[in-house]
Amino acid sequence: MSILSIEGISIPALMRTNADLCLLSVSPEQLNAATYQNPELYLAFGELKGGIDPAGADEHWKTASAAIERIRVAFAEASYTPALFFVGAAVQQRMATEIWDQLERGLLSNAANLNEAHQIAALSRWLCSL
């Protein structure tokens, strides 16, 4: 398995958008242009928002949430459902409530605050278990 940062790399046939992080069920040697076109090889997608300004946290969450929704819709059209997660450095109460709601509803599979080492450790264990 490979964890790849694909910031700025578009996956046109599947999402027509960018993603911050993805986990694929392939070895690094197996990665090629065709790999990105096979929805069944994607185990998880994540949005990473590293800004630490609490005043901008809600906007970061809105951007991430919209990106996660685009990924969800694109893969649903391909009849596939990868795990979706969010990692943020500035997590405010209102957005934490929204994140928790999405976790409970199964819209998000995992989430973590970058400032909480135990949450990052738990997220890392979860990714390794996929």
For 72-108, how does the pLDDT look when each residue is reduced to its tens digit (9 = 90+)? 988 888 788 999 999 998 888 888 899 999 999 999 9
Q: Quick one: pLDDT at residue 16?
A: 59
Q: Quick one: pLDDT at residue 128?
A: 95
Which residues partner with 42 through β-bridges? 24
Q: Quick one: pLDDT at residue 125?
A: 97
- Looking up residue 78, the CATH number of its domain turns out to be 3.40.91.10
Residue 68 in tokens: 């996660």
Q: Quick one: pLDDT at residue 17?
A: 64
Number of domains in the chain: 1
Please give, one letter per residue, the 3-state secondary structure of 30-51.
Answer: HCCCCHHHCHHHEEEEEEEECC
Please name the residues in contact with 4: beta carbons below 8 A apart, sequence gap of 6 or more.
21, 22, 23, 24, 31
Model confidence band, residue 4 (pLDDT cutoffs 50, 70, 90): very low
Q: Quick one: pLDDT at residue 121?
A: 97
Report the half-sphere exposure of 83 (CA within 13 A, side-chain side): 18
* Contact by Cβ (8 Å): 2, 56: no
What is the pLDDT averaged over residues 44-57? 82
Q: Quick one: pLDDT at residue 52?
A: 73
Residue 109 in tokens: 């599979």
User: CA nearest 22: which of 75, 100, 61?
Assistant: 75
Average pLDDT, the chain: 83
- Which helix (H) or strand (E) covers residue 69, if one does? helix 57-77
Please name the residues in contact with 102: beta carbons below 8 A apart, sequence gap of 6 or more.
65, 108, 111
Residue 114: which domain range?
2-129
Residue 5 has pLDDT above 80, yes or no: no
The span from the CA of 93 to the CA of 56, in Å, is: 13
